């Protein structure tokens, strides 16, 4: 049994002291869910302040050298869409991940995202006058990771409940931002 310790940080490299972000470990080739844990304090004290070590310890067994992917989902829709792809699966190790935080609502664009070319997506996100630069990065991250992880693996969704749950969480996060994720599936 191997362990991937995933330590979570914000985009300024500060420990991300947030409980409940779902960190999901997948076999990169098959899309099979290997383990899932909710983020928490990994070194809690005895009633003192929270530690600087927040994240998860993912346990897995996979054939030696199998590439692994980590996908973030979040029941609060604050940090979904963050990923780490093609990690070495042959050993236990520590991974530090900077997560991008999504904005709380829509960007205020005049039109909806009607077609999904890389340029049209980037331009649509940039029109979000209610979003700051870091929020726009997080939105682009979510959209393009959805395309990479979900749109190109639609054939796996019926047989991979873990991957379906990722697709549902990320889709709901996009809906909260007034993004029709169905456009990304075409």
CATH number at residue 78: 2.60.40.1120
Q: How many other CB atoms are found less than 10 A from the CB of residue 34?
A: 21
pLDDT tens digits, residue range 57-95? 999 987 777 899 999 999 999 999 999 999 988 888 999
User: CA 143: distance to chain centroid?
Assistant: 11
Give the confidence band of 7 by pLDDT, cuts at 50, 70, 90.
very high
What's residue 12's pLDDT? 94
Is 90 exceeded by the pLDDT of residue 105?
Answer: yes
Domain encompassing residue 143: 2-185
For the entire predicted model, the pTM comes to 0.93
Burial of 133 (0-12, 13-18, 19+ CB in 10 A): exposed
Query: What are the tens digits of pLDDT across the range 120-179?
Result: 999 999 999 999 999 999 999 999 999 999 998 888 888 999 999 999 999 999 999 999
User: What is the Cα–Cα distance from 9 to 4, expressed in whole angstroms?
Assistant: 16
| Two tokens, residue 81 | 């869409």
**Domain tally, the chain:** 1
The β-bridge relationship of strands 68-73 and 83-87 is: antiparallel
How many angstroms separate the CA atoms of 106 and 179, rounded? Answer: 8
Contacts of 104 by beta carbon, 8 Å cutoff, 6+ apart: none
The DSSP bridge partners found for residue 7 are: 55, 96
pLDDT digits (tens, 9 = 90+) for 14-37: 999 999 999 999 999 999 999 999
pLDDT at 186: 80
| Dist. CA 90–CA 93, nearest whole Å | 9
Angle (nearest 5°) at CA 182 between 20 and 38: 10
């Amino acid at each position: 049994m191997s362990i991937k310790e995933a330590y979570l940080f914000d985009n300024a490299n500060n420990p991300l002291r947030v409980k409940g972000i779902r960190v999901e470990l997948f076999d990169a080739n098959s899309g099979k869910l290997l383990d899932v844990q909710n983020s928490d304090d990994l070194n809690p004290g005895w009633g003192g302040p929270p530690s600087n070590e927040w994240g998860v310890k993912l346990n897995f067994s996979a054939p030696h050298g199998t590439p692994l992917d980590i996908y973030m989902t979040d029941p609060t829709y604050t940090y979904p869409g963050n990923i780490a792809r093609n990690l070495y699966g042959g050993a236990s190790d520590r991974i530090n991940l900077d997560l991008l935080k999504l904005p709380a609502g829509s960007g205020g664009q005049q039109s909806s995202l009607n077609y999904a070319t890389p340029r049209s997506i980037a331009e649509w996100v940039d029109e979000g006058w209610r979003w700051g630069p870091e929020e726009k990065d997080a939105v682009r991250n979510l959209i393009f990771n959805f395309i990479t992880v979900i749109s190109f693996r639609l054939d796996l969704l019926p047989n991979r409940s873990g991957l379906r749950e990722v697709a549902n969480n990320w889709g709901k996060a996009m809906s909260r931002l007034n993004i029709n994720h169905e456009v990304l599936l075409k």
